[in-house]
Structure 1
Amino acid sequence: MDNAMILSGTPAIAPGCVALTYDDGPGPRSAELAQSLREEGVSATFFVLGESIKRYGPVLQAYADYGHTIGLHSEYHRPFSSVALAADQLGKCRKRVEHHLGPDYFSDTIWHRPPYGVGDEPVPGYAGPVGWHASGRDWDITYRRDDVLRPPSNPRPHQTVAGCVDEIFVGLQRFGGGVVLLHDFAPFTEFTAGGLAEADLDLQVIDITMLLLRRLRDAGFTFVSLSDPAPAGRGG
């Protein structure tokens, strides 16, 4: 299965290196995840979601305090149907981050990743769009109640922590390294539309991350941050 989505703004990653990225946070386990990564000497990029910031905004400080990079995902987890919509959604999300971390938190250019990886066009004022070389369907762990979110006519075996790590490992081997897509929360509008409450979510992101770190280090991979984005025109 091809689990890559290499969008036009995906930064180059040196051979043998891996950059961890997390979408849809902040969430209830994000601060613990940020600390755990710091203790492992790994800096990640968190593509935050405005609707998650509304619920867990103070957690943004943990991302910053533990030396991680904050990128932007969107205000709501819906596909970008135009550059104008993307700019609007990213601008609203940026304002939420700045409300918690201050108006001078961001440099002139911020990495962005469109929801679902849909929208492979540059957005003025932002760097990206950032795709990924490997993912492991961790959302199939988070959304454990398949009967609610997946029709019976399209069944799929439950994903496991080990299975998720296996899929990521295979994807990275294919490219010799690259950007990994994981999720430290889920979009409120998405899981509630499927009849789920936050208490129904099975957030195993830390278990996945720790197993992935061990597996990749044993295979000789090195962890790196996304490179600093090139300056972009003002906008957003």
Structure 2
Amino acid sequence: MLLAVAAAWAFPQDTGTQSTGLRDTGSHITGSTDSSTTLTIAATKAQAPTARLSWTELPAPEAPQASPAARRVDCSQERCVALTFDDGPGPHTKRLLRILEQYDARATFFLVGKMVHAHPWVARRIADAGHEVGVHSWSHPDLRNLTAQQVRAQLVRTRRIIEQTTGDRPVLSRPPYGASSERVRAEHRRADLAEILWTVDPTDWKHRNARVVRRSVERDLRRNSIVLLHDIRPTTVDAIPALLRHLERRRITLVTVSELLGETQPGVTYGRPDWSPQMQRDLR
């Protein structure tokens, strides 16, 4: 896709002073960002427990599969939506991959470095299936609370293990909880990573019900949406088959974030609910 299309998705950095204090609500934001930028994400008053970063051991890896052929998708002509999955690879990721394969659907997985280290064969399967892999930090901290050196270590260490494990060098990153700052963006720029947020959040960390999650996505979905989901939630994975059937009936093409945005710029943040209304056109 043309760079101009990707540029239209980026939003300018705010200036002035904003209040601080995001709470950890299981990859959902409440409150506002630091003194440099406000990330306007749908807030919630409910607080969920912090996502756990340890999993039961997964089965032995299966034989590697041949990577699917590269494809070209023009989202200025097709009705595109990008599904994204955070916090894995986890115990439900392999089941999700089988579902996506059944529907020939592509997605983007923002991986936690510790989980890639623990389950490298699952990370390889994600990439081998043609999905995009991105950075989601090494241990899922709020990056705004770290020093520049610590942020750099979280990003670079995760990028390196993803590249070593999958053979793909990530160009995208999603900061945990969507929490960013000028310092965090500067480190993303140094690590050659663009920040990717989202435009649709069904709060699947809170609604542990597959039907509620699916209906929430369907209600808020627009053309060129970036949907935030978590493959660590079994109810989220349960919701995917019916969601994919719904999207298939509406002739929506499921794409990776890079297929949707085209070329992205390191250190630039893409995706939030209140920007680029011309890109959030109705799917009718």
TM-score, structure 1 normalization:
0.69
Q: Which runs of 5+ in 1 are unaligned?
A: 142-158, 186-201
Work out whether residues 194 and 264 of structure 2, in 8 Å CA contact, stay in contact via their aligned partners in 1: no
Note the alpha carbon deviations across 1:67-116, whole angstroms, 9 max, x for none: 11110000011111168243220111123223423xxx234x61000000
Tell me the CA shift for residue 162 of structure 1.
Answer: 0.9
Match 1:118 to one of 176, 179, 188: 179
Where do 4+ consecutive residues of structure 1 move more than 4 Å?
3-8
Alignment of 1:44-55 (within 5 A): 44-55=107-118
Tell me the residue number matched to 1:21.
Answer: 84
3-state DSSP of counterpart to 1:140: coil
Instruction: Kindly provide the CA deviation profile for residues 28-47 of structure 1, in whole angstroms up to 9, marking residues without a partner as x.
Output: 12123223212211111110
Q: What SS does the corresponding residue of 2:109 show, helix, strand or coil?
A: strand
Counterparts of 1:232 and 1:117, CA distance in 2: 16
Give, in whole Å, the separation in 1 of the partners of 2:141 and 2:100.
29
Q: 1:139: which partner in 2? A: 205
Q: AA paired with 1:135? A: D
How many residues are matched? 189
> Which residue in 2 is equivalent to 1:98?
163
Shift in CA distance, 113/58, structure 1 to aligned 2, threshold 3 Å:
same
Distance 1:99 1:32 in 2: 24
1:70-85 correspondence runs (5 A): 70-81=133-144, 84=148, 85=150
Measure, in 1, the Cα distance between the counterparts of 2:206 and 2:115: 19
How far off its partner does 1:216 sit? 2.4
Report the TM-score, using the length of structure 2 for normalisation. 0.58
- Read off the aligned partner of 1:89 and give its amino acid letter: Q
Deviation at 1:7, TM superposition (A): 6.2
Contact 2:89 2:123 survives alignment (8 Å): yes
The structure with the larger Rg is 2
Counterpart CA distance in 2 for 1:134 and 1:65 is 27
- 1:92 counterpart SS class: helix
CA contact (8 A) 1:177 1:221 kept: no
- Relative to structure 1, the CA distance from residue 170 to residue 181 in structure 2 (aligned partners, 3 Å threshold; closer, same or farther) is same
Q: Does 1:211 align with 2:238?
A: no
Partner letter of residue 178 of structure 1? S
Structure of greater relative contact order (alpha carbons < 8 Å, 6+ residues apart):
1
SS of the aligned residue for 2:195 comes to coil
Counterpart of 1:115 in structure 2: which amino acid?
A: P
SS at match of 2:136: strand
| Corresponding letter in the other structure for 2:107 | A
In the aligned structure 2, how far is the partner of 1:17 from the partner of 1:206? 21
CA distance in 1, matches of 2:236, 2:212: 13
Change in CA separation of 1:130 and 1:231 when aligned onto 2, cut-off 3 Å:
closer
Alpha-carbon offset, residue 55 of structure 1:
2.6
In structure 2, the gaps of 5 or more residues are 1-27, 31-37, 41-74, 268-284
Deviations 1:162-184 (A, max 9, x none): 111111122214xx341111111
Superposition CA RMSD, Å: 3.0
Aligned to 1:179: 226
| Number of the residue aligned with 1:129 | 195
Q: Is the 8 A contact 1:47 1:113 kept in 2?
A: yes
Structure with more of its chain in helix, by fraction:
1
Q: Identity of counterpart residues, as a percentage? A: 30
